[in-house]
């Protein structure tokens, strides 16, 4: 059977990364988390003291950042100019700023080019916001994964620990706000590609969603 590309898009917290990782495992494919790349840029900007609104300085920053994704012991390792920032990019600070960072053209141009390069050999599962609609318009399988805002907030809430505890209502508000921001940006906003299959995970387990996607892949390989 031939190798294909699988695009999984959708709003924040719909379970894309968990599901994409498992689908990749099952197919023996490489998983690529594009959100991690945008988070890496947000982290780099933050550290350089560049506000998320500063297009000129962000554009300059993009000429110096080198982001790499590599398989690690427990999941994907994210590096910024060689430094391991896998944990740092999950901070609340990064999460609250990443959407505005991701709205800049200079940021998207560079990351999309990287993403297309990584997918050129086929056999990848890529998750994000604009993969099926923009990055890989020819992906053989396109899934748009959704779930109710409450369930998505609840899943995030259950992942939080220790000093990070944020009230569920607050999390839900932030998730809805980030989706609104991702959907309304000018350049390749979060949208369901015309040929994507919508999967609602509100009442499905992770394994049920994985099965649905693997079945879609089977018809294409």
* Binding interface with ligand C5P (CB under 6 A): 12, 34-35, 38-39, 98-99, 102, 128-131, 178, 182
Task: Identify which of 131, 183, 160 has the alpha carbon closest to the alpha carbon of residue 12.
Answer: 183
The verdict on whether residue 14 carries a ligand-binding annotation is yes
Rounded to 5°, angle at Cα 74 from 70 and 80 = 35
The pairing of beta strand 30-33 with beta strand 124-128: parallel
Residue 86 C-beta: closest distance to ligand C5P, Å? 12
**DSSP code, position 90:** G
CB of 129 to ligand C5P, least distance (A): 4
Which lies closer to ligand C5P via its Cβ, residue 96 or residue 214?
96
Instruction: Give 77's strand partners.
Output: 70
Burial class (CB in 10 A: 0-12, 13-18, 19+), 207: exposed
CB of 208 to ligand C5P, least distance (A): 21
Q: Determine if residue 7 is labeled as part of a ligand binding site.
A: no
As a whole number of angstroms, the distance between CA 191 and CA 56 comes to 27
Nearer to ligand C5P, 35 or 123 (CB): 35
52 is in an annotated binding site: no
CA distance 155 to 174: 14
**Annotated binding residue at 16?**
yes
C-beta of 12 vs 119, nearer to ligand C5P: 12
Q: 13: annotated binding-site residue?
A: yes
- Cβ proximity to ligand C5P: between 105 and 200 the closer is 105
Give binding residues for ATP as ranges.
10-18
């Amino acid at each position: 059977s031939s190798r294909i590309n699988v695009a999984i898009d959708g709003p924040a917290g719909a379970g894309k990364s968990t599901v994409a990782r498992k689908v990749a495992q099952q197919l023996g494919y490489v998983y690529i988390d594009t959100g991690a790349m945008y988070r890496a840029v947000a982290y780099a900007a933050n550290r350089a003291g560049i506000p998320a609104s500063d297009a000129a300085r962000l554009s300059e920053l993009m000429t110096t950042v080198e982001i790499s994704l590599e398989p690690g012991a427990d999941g994907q390792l994210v590096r910024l100019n060689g430094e391991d920032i896998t944990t740092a990019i999950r901070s609340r600070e990064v999460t609250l700023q990443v959407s505005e960072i991701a709205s800049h053209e200079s940021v998207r141009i560079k990351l999309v080019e990287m993403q297309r390069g990584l997918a050129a050999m086929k056999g990848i599962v890529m998750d994000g916001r604009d993969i099926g609609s923009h990055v890989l318009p020819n992906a053989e399988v396109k899934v748009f994964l959704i779930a109710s805002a409450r369930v998505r907030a609840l899943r995030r809430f259950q992942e939080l620990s220790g000093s990070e505890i944020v009230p569920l209502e607050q999390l839900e508000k932030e998730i809805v706000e980030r989706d609104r921001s991702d959907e309304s940006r000018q350049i390749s906003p979060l949208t369901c590609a015309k040929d994507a299959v919508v999967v609602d995970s509100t009442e499905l387990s992770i394994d049920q969603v994985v099965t649905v996607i693997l079945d879609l892949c089977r018809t294409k390989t």
